[in-house]
Each structure stands twice: as structure tokens, then as C-alpha cells.
Structure 1
Amino acid sequence: MDVESVVRTAVESGVFTKPSADQKVFKDQCAYCFKDPHTKDGLYINLKNYHAFCREHAEIYANNTGNNLYVQFESTKVFVEEKGDGERADGEPTNKMTKLTIDADPKFEFEDKYCVVIHPNYSQQFFNVQGVQEIADAIQTIANSTSAERLALLSSTSNAWDADIKLITKHSNLVQHDNDKRLALSGWHCEVENCGLDENLWINLTDGAIRCGRSQYVADGQKTNGNGHMQDYYAATGYPLVVKLGTISSNLESIDVYSYDEDDAVIDPNLEKHLKHFGLDPSKLEKTAKSTLEMELDMNEKWEWARCTEDGAVLEPVYGPGYTGLINTGSSCYMNSVLQALIQVDSFRTRYSEKALDILLNCPIETIHNDFNAQFAKVIRAMLSGDYSSETDLEHNNIKPLQFKRVAAGNHAEFSTAKQQDVEEYIRFLFEKISQNSKDEVIDPTGSLRFQTWNRFEDIATQKVRYTEQEELILRLPIPEALLKPIPDTENRFTVDMSAAIQAAFDVQFVEVSIFVPKNIFFWFQGYKSPITGEQKGATNTITMKTFPDYLLFQVSKFTYNNLGVQKKLDVEVEVSDELDLVAYRGHGKLEGEELLPVETPSEPAAPEIPANVRAVAGELMVMGFEENSCLRAAFFSNGNAEVATNWLMEHMDEPNINDVFVMPTGTPSARGEVDPNLVASIIDMGFTPYQARYALKQVPTVSEAVDWLFTNMETIPVETAATGSSSDAPQPSITEAANRKSYKDGSEKYKLIGMISHMGSRPDSGHYVAHMLKDGKWVLFNDEKVALSQDPPKKLAYIYLYKRVE
């Protein structure tokens, strides 16, 4: 039988679909694994649905579906030999490439080859199919189309970078003194008598005073010159905004601007004007000194980076199953590190690797590229297969879990972007997504890590108690200031003992509030008010473990908030315990002789009046033509800062409810969200999740009321949805109902350290993450696509620790 007859017979058997005008063609990667057109045999694109498979999975798919007609697509790298004068050795001009030219020697191009194959005779390839016009047209469509994978990427990816985010200063309209002070463009010195330093100099933008900065460590044991005279000047005058003189240049973004009362490096939108007021024209100056941030990076982040990535050490690459590198797809190191940790957990290997093929085959091919379980199984199976971690095929090592990242993130406001994220938040988000995609008959692998705690709440006035059960995923280790021990010959770097931090997590917490709100300049002092006696003597909360999971995650609370709600990282080294015995922290329920507090439902608080500063800023925005309600929202969420309010309004103009009637919420807002993160942090310290803390603070205004509200209303809190990171409007089961449907592992209280995720950078949503895992008795570094045996695992510097139970 000739070629035309064979192909025609296959077409007429019903396994061919003519491609539509908007046909999606998957041709970048196998639907079931990560092989691509450049690997051996290339890909087989099924002509029934235009999904691609490697040779192994093409056979499996055809056997299961009967769809046996494929176009084999191979793309081969061909090196181009030049003979000079811009001409190739074959006479073609060197700029005539079929797909891609690399602008470095040696140059190469990709040559694509298409042929028809019919399962199970893969060795019989039909190249000349022009006699079957519909097949020829289909091949042309495949060749000319932009892959469906790339189209999805283009429609979902947003660009971002990992740099630290500076706030716009509230002093952008700073009142400057008309003192006729004009400065030269060089030759500055500290104006304090008997100082005279000519380095590390700052100008105060209020009156033009020049003072030296503080001495600062630039290396272990080495400090810059500085007597801190500008800080003294601020303390004496209250003039807040200063600029480091040696950083002034035409590149305004690189100029070091610091606000003392905002306690941070800031952006001054009117910086050029403020500098010219004293005769300093940025266009006439060149940068001669490092900014404070640059020096901090040199001192803190670089040593941390070197330690965590083991930079400078000659590390031995390691290959094989479980040693697969993950390519960074744009600030995705947080996700890569989490995946490397999860494949150490037995239940994840069972669910998503051993049963991966069942998951993939049971998923309709039309939805497989957007199915969470299918994409998760595809990634985990590939990581554990060893197919992409071979010493003999370095070109096809590593995988790029781009589709998984997109599907897992869904429409989440943060995880769907290319921005860096907090790895602890991602773990919580991902685990919730996994649980949502685990049917009743399927084992939820997160059950190996979830655990329950007892929360014991005691009213000090009556000594009556209330016990509640709480589900948790990560045990947060607080770092009280009393536990910090300074590291010699360093600045603002400390060490803390892990055992002491664990003890602090289970210590008695007093429920009382003493909070300073700088934007509105007032204090809240309030202790817990007894519902029985009315006395305001406060309350205590104590956490103990109800269950001990197979694997236990710890998070070191390295991040704290400044007075503007901006996260800053503590430079803390943890004296880690490789083995833990947590038997002392096993808890219990109500004890004999204890009296329970009555269950009360607090009344709905009345909405407070809109403050004058919020109304004033809203008025400024309304002059620009915006609606009143949107302006009130912007002013409220920016704490009355006109500059931040303008930015907030621009970012939220497309929201459908932006002009709904504005009702002043309870609680204290911040420039980064509706609820003050300082209040949230206080409630988290008492054992509640960030979501629960934020939800409670939207009901009542203070920490003490929020904690009491949580204890009496826990069952009414909607389930946090992984897709949005917030509660759903649709009816959801209560937390208690959801918990009752789950079973929790419980066994020995003894654990062994098997993994760590480390963070380098000043905030959890910037910088870089790497993972170190204990495999086969050796520590292994997973730095995105780089996988190597570790010489000195940075146990003291990790952000997340993974422990496994030992019997």
C-alpha cells in the first residue's frame, strides 16, 4: 500500500480533526512529561486534538484512546560554519536562520522536521503526504502556529524584579528654609566643631546643614568613619529628610534619601528641586560613594548570599532521581525551593509520583494543561524520575515548571505575577490548593504536615478558661529581643538558640495592648475586659501541641515591621538543633477543676467617624476629578498621605466597587493594606494564622478584642480560598467542620532535621531563596537549576526548617 493510501485510511478511520482557524497547537512539551522537540525522537503531535507527547507517552496515549495518528516534530540544532564575509559555508547568508541565532560563537540554527507516523509503527515515517491535502494543511498549521504553551505564557506573565521597594516619603512637600545657603559641588566636610570628616556626609534638606553619618560595618571587624552627627542634628531639630552627598548624580533613583521619622530609605518625588534649593544640581555631580543600602547589601546580603549558596566553594554536581534542578522562570526560586522540600515527604511522593500516570491518564486531554493535579503530578514525577538529571546529557538536564506555576497560582493577586514572594505564605497557599484538589477517596498529602494545637485562654480576673482547637501547618518561632545575643565585631547581627525560640513559641502570652499609631499621633491602652466581672485585668493565652505530625515545619520569625508597616529582616543566626524532643509541649484539654468561660457573641461595633485628615486628603484628590467615595478609600488606605493615596487610587481605579459608598472600617489601616500589620503580628504571636488575625481585626478594632473575638467566633470565619487568598462570598464550611473531616497524624514527639529553605535579602518578597536537603546521608544544595553536594550547609541562616519524625 502506498503512502497516500495508508494515511488516507487513517484519516477516514476518524482519528483526524481538521485544525480550526484558531486551533491551539501544543508543540513545546510532552503533555505528560518535560521532553521537547529537541530530545531524541522529538514530539508526536496527535492529529485528533493537537496535543504533543514524547515517544513513550504517545504509545500510552494511543493505546488508551485509539487516537493513533501523529505528526512527529523534531527540531535539531545545527551549527553554522562561516567562510567569511557574512556567508555560510553552504553559500547562504548567515542571517538567514530558520528559527534562532545565538549571537556568539559558535553560531547555530534549528532545523525542524515533520513527518506522519501511525501508532504502533513509529519506525515507518511518511514525509511525502502532499497527496492527502488535509494532512499537508495540518502540518503547515503546526509549523506556522505559535505554540499554545507560549500563548498562555504571553497572556499571563507580568514583568517584575526583585529589588527592595521604597516608600514615597510623606515629606515630598518639605518646607525648606530660605537662608540663602548655597553649597559648592565638592569639598564638603562635617560642620560640627572639631569633627571635620570629609566622608560619609549627609545634607539636611530643611536647612542645608551638613553632618557626618554614623559609623557602619562594611566587613567583619571593619567600619566606616562617622560620628553620627546628622542623627544628633535630627534629634535636636526634628528636621527629618537627609541625602547622602556622595550619592548625588543625574540618576535620581540612585541617590540615597533617608527619612528619620519614617525610619527608612525613601523616594522624594521633589528631590531635584530640594537639592537645587541649596545649589546642588544633580546633573553636574557624579556619584562618589556607596549608598547606605549598597553598603548594607555588601555587608549583610552578600555574606548571607555567599553562605547560603556556598559561593566560592567548588561544589560537586550530583545527578539522578530526586536531584533534578528547576529552572527559574522569573523570581520563581521560592516555588522551586518548596518543591524540592516536598519531594522529601513520603506522602507527596506516593500521591504525585507513584500514582502520577494514573492522574495524567484520568485527566481529559482538553483540560490537562490547566488541571492542578495533572500539572503537579507531571512536575513531581519528573523531579523523581532521573530523566532530567543525567551526567551524560547535560543539555537536557533540569526542567522548567512554568505551566505548574501558572496553574497553581490561578488568579491569585501575588503568586500569579513574576514578583518574588514569601516562601512561608506560598507553602500555606499551595497546601490549601492541594487540599481543595484532594477528593474524599484520595489521600491528602498535606496531612503528613498538618497538626493541631490547644489554645488555652484564661481570664485573669476570674481565672476561668476557654479551650479551642486550632489547625496549623507551620510552627512559627518568635524571636523575642531578650533571646538575641549580639555577634561580636558585627553591627545589628545576632544569634539565638533554637530551643529557646521553641520555648518562646509555647510561653504564656498576655493579651493586652499598648500600641502607638504614628500617623494619627495617639495611643491605645487597653487590657482584656472580663465578661463576668467587667474588670480590665487582661488575659493570657497558651499554646500546646495536640498532635505531632510525621513532618514538622518551622518558620523563624526573622521579619519584623517598622512603624509604617514595612517589613524588615533581622540578621539572626539560629543555633540549630539537628534533633528535637518536643514531649514537653504536648498539651491537653480542660483539666479537672477548671471552670469554663461563657460563650459570648460580641455586639457589632459601630462604624467610626471619618477622621479629618482622611477627609482633607480625599478633598485634594477630588479636585483632580475623582469621585468622593474612591477618594475617601484612597485616603484611608494611605493613612492620610496624599502621595501614597494618589498612587493607591491609580492602582485600584479598575476595581468594580471603587465608587461604592465608603464606610469607615474599624481598626487602623496601613499604606499596604486595610489592617495594620503590627496588630496582625501581635495576634499571630498568640498562635493564630495571618488570615484569622486580619479577619478578626476587620470585626473589632483592638488586639485584645480581636483575640477574644477569635476564641468565641472561630467557627464563623469563612474558609480562606487558595485562588484569591481571601474569604469567599459563597457559603463555605466552617473551620471546625473542615477540621472534623480531617484526620491528623500523631506519634512520637522526636524529630530529625532533613531540610532547610534559606532566604537572602532584606524582605521575604525580595531577594533569593535556595534549599538544602539531607538526602542519602548527605546535604545537597538546590539553587534553582544548580544541584550539588553541600560542603557547609547554612543551618544557622535558614528561614524554614523541615523536620521528620523519628520513632
Structure 2
Amino acid sequence: MSCPHVAIAHLTPPSAFTEVHKEECTQCFDSQDSENGIDVCLSCFNAGCNDPIRHHAQTHFLKTQHPIVLNIQRVALDKPKRADDGTPPPQKISKLAIVPENEEEKYEHLTKVKCYACDGAEVERTADNLPAIIDSVLASLTYNKQSEIKAWEQEIVPCDHTRNLVQSESRKLESQSLAHCTRCDFNQNLWLCLVCGNLGCGRQQFGSDLGGNGHGLQHFEETGHAVSCKLGTITPEGTAGVGRLDLSIISSKHINTQCGLRSDVFCYSCNDEHSDPYLAQHLANWGIEVASQQKTERSMAELQLEQNLRFDFSMTLEDGKQLESLFGSGYTGLRNLGNRYLSLAEDHALTCPADSASCLQCQLSKLADGLYSGRYSSPKEPIDSTSSPSQDGVQPAMFKALVGKGHPEFSTMRQQDAYEFFQHFIKIVEQKERASGEDPTRVFQFQLEQRLQCTSCRKVRYQKQVSKDVQVMVPARIKTRTEGEANESGEGKKEVEYEEVSFEECLDTFIAEELMDDYLCPNCLEKTTAVK
């Protein structure tokens, strides 16, 4: 149907830096895989679920009066079976390589435009500028992927070879000279020698679909020309010198040409990626105007990040057995990251002045609901007869991005300490709730009393301190086995086993007496020892 609200809404496509929530609801963990998909607001690109009870998309409309949404539903495709029609079998694998899965071949995305001002009626998707907006939303990077990639920053600096590059006599390279490798017909992963203008294909990138015959490297080995630039990664924004490589626009499936990365510049002598502070001048020597270039290929950083983000850890025990999956309320797992409660969350969603993705209370409500509702811990169909049922769990990417925002460690994808993250989280909640006077972190507070007795005058001093945590030592005692147990386990087994340690023993160790040196006794007025 034609809808007058499309023109009234003044919709515009998202830019390269717009946060587009299209993967999951910002207030619960319903996603494109849910029964009714999710609705992406085409005004502010918030995502809301279509669940008949929670109806967060409807809640968002009542709060913002943004009527036009794009409903996205992802449907798994049946695995194609090879018919017995004489078709030859797939090529035999002759090389050991990690082959990434192609998501586009596994799923189909069903989309439709709706208007909440018209009671959720479907809108003609060709109206006004809707086609361009729909294409931009589908091609944009998801918020979760954006948050992950923003946390990966690679420091790219010049080297002596890029700073002191001496080029051959300038000439304009013809378009046909830049079409494929000079030694083969490969037309992707092409590297331009900034010294002489030779074009050679790169090395094959294992773990990705990017191929190559290594003729760029061969050119360096024959000529000693070390510095090359990857065609397809050159953009006007990529001419800067030393600085950080911003990876916030990377997409494994869609290359956004509105905003580019620094061009890939590789030094074969250093065998590493470097920046070129004079890249624009060096490219102009071969007739390439940076201002007219657009990004058409993935950079080396993008290819590396795709592999890092695909990496998964198996849930296995020490004996190699798979962990048993549990399902239902209270048994929802966190993925690689009563009715009264839900009612309170809905009330806050209507009155929250901030965007749901940037509101701590909204994200805490979302995480608690996801973990305790049981909706996201349903048994998942096993891959094969040998696999046990599993669950998807929830991935609190928005929560992690919000809590870690601005922190030098927790805003990155580096390995982090859970204890330090808990302390940081408690501090943030304290700051947020200080004005309200209802700080929920007070439930963690307790008072530690320290007793110090001077060994000289036997006087006792007490110190009290309010704390939210204690660090206890866990003793590591190697388990001694009897002769019978050693024979039963086998002589060849050399694994070290440790004794079990109870939590009570750890607490007893924490409060046990210890001798403290260099204690300045206020009674003796000199340094002595004390029993703590």
C-alpha cells in the first residue's frame, strides 16, 4: 500500500559511521532468526523485536513516533544435496587449509517495510527513496560487528623504505596495465610496485577466499623493489601518514565505499605492513589520483580480523569430553562475550531519555531478561547423530561495548581479567546511581577489621575498612598417590594432579595470622614487628 508517512518521515540512508542495529533487538536478545524477525527503524536505525508480549518495536514507535521500519527475518536454507545425475563430485582436497563458511549460502534474508502509524501495515518498498535506504541498511555493518572491530586497532607506522622511497621516471599507467597481474591473468589481490610501477598478484591468503600466485613477492626477489601498494584499498582518506588504523568500517560481506581505510602498503624488506607518509605523491607518479579512488577490496587487516572474529572455542573438559548442555530458565549461556521485572523494564523503555543501546539500565535489563527468561536456552538441533543438543545462548555485545567504552583495556579485544572487569563495572554502576541514592552495589559492601599487635609492647591497634571484595589465595598441593593407584593409572601417565581445595580453607588462609615487618608502633614510636 502507499503510505503518506514515508514522505513525512524524511528518511535518509545511514552513513558509514551510523550505528545500525539490525542484528538483534536493543532491549532483548530476539534477532533476525526469531519467528517474526526484527524491525529496524528507518529513522534512527534502532532494532526492536516483534514478540507479542514484549513488542519492543511498538514500544520504540510509541516513544519516538518513528513510524517506518524494515522487518528483517533470516531463514536457514536447506543444505543442497548432490543429485545422482552424473555430476562430478567436488574437487579432492589436496592442500591443508582453513576454509571459511559463506554465510550468504547458508541463509536467506526476507525483508518488508511496515508503518506503525498505519497499524503495522506493509508499505510499498519502492516508494520515495526507500530502495536506496533498504540497500544501505542491508549492506551496512551490524552494531555488534562494529563494536568488535572498533576494539581491534593496529598501529601502522612508516619504515625507512617508505620514508626514503626512490621512484623510477614518472609515467601514467594505462587502465589495461592495471587490470591484471603482469605475469598471470589474476585480477584480484593486485599489488603495485611503488618503485617501478610493476603490477603483481599477492600471496594466497589461507583461511580466506583471496587467492594469488605470489608474483609481487617474486618481483621483489628479482629486483629488490621493496614497497608495494594494494590496488582496491586506495581511498582519499588513506593518504595520511603515521596514525591509527580505524577498523570501524570493515565488513566481511559488504565493502563500504563511502569511507575508506588507509591503503595497504607492504614492505617486503621488513616483511610487514607499513604506512607511507607520501602515498599520494608516490601514486601520482604513476598517474593514479587518490581523490578519485574508491575502496573495492578487503585490506590485510580486514582479512586478519575476519579470521579472529570467526575463531570459536570448544566447551570441553580436561578428559576431552564435551560439556553437557543445560536448558531452560536460569541456564542460558553467554556466547563468545519474573513478570514483575519485565514490567519494570518496559516502563523504563518508554521513559528512558537515551538510546537503548547506550543506556546502562536498558542493557542490564536486557542481559538479566536474556539470562533468566529461558527463551534463549532452547535445545538446538544437533549437527549430526554424534553431536549432543546445544544452545545458542546470548552474546551481550552491546553491554560489553557500553561498559568498556573509553576504558584503555575493556574497550579493546585484548585478553582481560574478570576480577578487574567486575571492579570496573561496579565503579560504573556507583557513578550512575550516586545521584539517585539507590546504589545496588551496596549489597556487595562489607567491613574488614584488621587487628595489629606489636610484639614489643603487646599493644593492639584496630583498623576498619569498607570493601566490596577480597582476594584469597588458593593453595596448590600436588596430590600424592598410593602405590596401588599409581600402578592402576599406568606408569606412562605423567600428568600432575592437585588436591581439592575447599572455599572454607581459602578463607581460613585469608584470616590466618601473619608476621608483619617494619611496623611503626604508635606506642613504641619505632619500627618493630607486629602480628596481623
In which range does the TM-score fall when normalised by the shorter chain?
A: 0.5 to 0.7
Partner of residue 368, structure 1: 356
Give the alignment partner of residue 135 of structure 1, picking from 130, 137, 153.
Answer: 130
1:538 and 2:529 matched: yes
Q: Output the CA distance in 2 between the equivalents of 1:362 and 1:152.
A: 26
**Which residue in 2 is equivalent to 1:382?**
370
Change (3 A) 1:71 1:354: closer
Asked if the contact 1:37–1:73 (Cα under 8 Å) also holds between the matched residues in 2, the reply is yes
1:505 and 2:513 correspond: no
Length, aligned pairs only: 337
Q: Is contact 1:31–1:51 with CA below 8 Å preserved after alignment?
A: yes
Q: How do 1:597-676 and structure 2 match up within 5 A?
A: none
* CA positional deviation for 1:158: 6.2
Distance apart, 1:465 and its partner CA: 4.0
8 Å CA contact retained: 1:454, 1:469: yes
- Choose from 436, 461, 466 the match for 1:441: 436
Q: Which residue of 2 aligns with 1:112?
A: 109
Query: For the residues of structure 2 that align with 1:502 and 1:351, how far apart are their CA atoms?
Result: 37
Q: Which runs of 5+ in 2 are unaligned?
A: 88-98, 155-315, 382-388, 483-494
Cα distance per residue 1:127-174 (max 9 Å; x no partner): x432x3223332232233223432232111369xxxxxxxxxxxxxxx
Q: 1:528 maps to what in 2?
A: 519
CA-to-partner distance for each residue in 1:434-453, whole Å, 9 max, x for gaps? 22222443643332232111
Offset at residue 57 of structure 1 (A): 1.0
Superposed CA deviations along residues 510-534 of structure 1, whole A, max 9, x for unmatched, are: 211xxxxxxxxxxxxxx32434434
* Within-5 A mapping of 1:23-422: 23-55=18-50, 56-79=55-78, 81=80, 108-119=105-116, 124-126=121-123, 128-130=124-126, 132-157=127-152, 306=317, 312=321, 315=324, 317-329=325-337, 355-364=344-353, 367-391=355-379, 397-422=392-417
Residues 452 and 471 of structure 1 are in contact (CA less than 8 Å); yes or no, is this contact kept in structure 2? yes
Q: Distance in 1 between matches of 2:116 and 2:519?
A: 74
Runs of at least 5 residues in structure 1 that lack an aligned partner in the other structure: 89-100, 160-304, 330-348, 513-526, 542-807
Distance change >3 Å, CA 396–CA 142, structure 1 → 2: farther
Kindly indicate whether the alpha-carbon contact (under 8 Å) linking 1:373 and 1:437 is maintained by their aligned counterparts in 2.
Answer: no
What RMSD, in angstroms, separates the aligned Cα atoms of the two structures?
A: 4.0
CA deviations 1:209-229 (Å, max 9, x no partner) are xxxxxxxxxxxxxxxxxxxxx
Q: Distance in 2 between matches of 1:439 and 1:535?
A: 42
Shift of residue 118, structure 1, vs aligned partner: 1.4
Deviation of the 1:122 alpha carbon: 6.0
- The alignment partner of 2:521 has SS state of coil
Deviations along 1:624-669, one digit per CA (max 9) or x if unpaired, are xxxxxxxxxxxxxxxxxxxxxxxxxxxxxxxxxxxxxxxxxxxxxx
Aligned ranges 1:758-777 → 2 under 5 Å: none
Cα deviations by residue, 1:551-575 (Å, 9 ceiling, x for unpaired)? xxxxxxxxxxxxxxxxxxxxxxxxx
Please give the per-residue CA displacement for 1:421-480, whole angstroms capped at 9, x wherever unaligned: 333333333222322222443643332232111123334444444433212223443457
CA contact (8 A) 1:158 1:418 kept: no
Aligned residue among 16, 19, 29 for 2:13: 19
Q: How far apart in 1 are the matches of 2:499 and 2:391?
A: 43
Change in CA separation of 1:424 and 1:487 when aligned onto 2, cut-off 3 Å: farther
8 A Cα contact 2:151 2:413, kept in partner: no
Q: Aligned-pair distance for 1:66?
A: 2.5
Specify the code of the residue in structure 2 equivalent to 1:469: K
**1:410 and 1:533 mapped to 2: Cα distance?**
50
Q: Report 1:385-784 matches (<5 A).
A: 385-391=373-379, 397-441=392-436, 443-478=438-473, 486-488=479-481, 493-496=498-501, 498-512=503-517, 527-541=518-532
Name the TM-score, length of structure 2 as normaliser. 0.54
Is the 8 Å Cα contact of residues 528 and 537 (structure 1) preserved in structure 2? yes
Question: 3-state DSSP class of the match of 1:32?
Answer: coil
Amino acid across the alignment from 1:18: T
Partners of 1:351 and 1:439 lie apart in 2 by: 25
Could you tell me whether the CA contact under 8 Å between 2:26 and 2:47 is conserved in 1? Answer: yes
Q: Report what 2:307 is aligned to.
A: none
Quick one: which amino acid aligns to residue 480 of structure 2?
I
Query: What secondary structure is seen at the aligned counterpart in 1 of 2:452?
Result: strand
| Structure 2 match to 1:273 | none
CA distance in 2, matches of 1:412, 1:351: 34
Q: Which amino acid aligns with 1:487?
A: T
User: Equivalents in 2 of 1:425, 1:353: separation in Å?
Assistant: 30
Measure, in 2, the Cα distance between the counterparts of 1:442 and 1:144: 45
Give the CA deviation at 1:507: 2.8
- Per-residue CA deviation, residues 203-258 of structure 1 (Å, 9 max, x unaligned), is xxxxxxxxxxxxxxxxxxxxxxxxxxxxxxxxxxxxxxxxxxxxxxxxxxxxxxxx
Secondary structure of 1:416's match? coil
Alpha-carbon distance in structure 1 between the residues aligned to 2:71 and 2:104? 26
Flag the 1:115–1:313 CA change in 2: closer, same or farther, 3 A: closer
Q: How far is 1:501 from its partner?
A: 3.9
Give the drift of 1:58: 0.9
Secondary structure of the 2:377 match is coil
1:153 and 1:110 map into 2 onto residues whose CA distance is 22
SS at structure 1 position matched to 2:364: helix
Shift in Å, 1:26: 2.0
Query: Deviation per CA, 1:571-597, whole angstroms, max 9, x where unpaired?
Result: xxxxxxxxxxxxxxxxxxxxxxxxxxx
Q: CA shift at 1:498, angstroms?
A: 4.7
**Structure 2 SS opposite 1:139:** helix
Q: More strand per residue: 1 or 2? A: 1
| Compared CA separation, residues 118 and 500, structure 1 to 2 (3 A) | closer
The 1:509/1:63 distance shift into structure 2, 3 A limit, reads same
Contact 2:472–2:509, Cα closer than 8 Å, also in 1:
yes
Distance 1:67 1:453, change over 3 A: same
Contact 2:59 2:349 in 1 (8 A): no
| Aligned CA distance change for structure 1 residues 479 and 145 (closer, same or farther; 3 Å) | closer
Q: Does structure 2 conserve the Cα–Cα contact (< 8 Å) formed by 1:353 and 1:380?
A: no
The 8 Å contact of residues 459 and 530 in structure 1, kept in 2 or not, is answered as yes
Report deviation, 1:313. 7.5
Mapped to 1, the partners of 2:332 and 2:459 lie a distance apart of 55
Conserved 8 A contact 1:450-1:473: yes
Q: Give the drift of 1:537.
A: 2.5
The letter of the residue matching 1:539 is: A
Q: SS of the counterpart of 2:462?
A: strand
TM-score, normalization by structure 1: 0.37
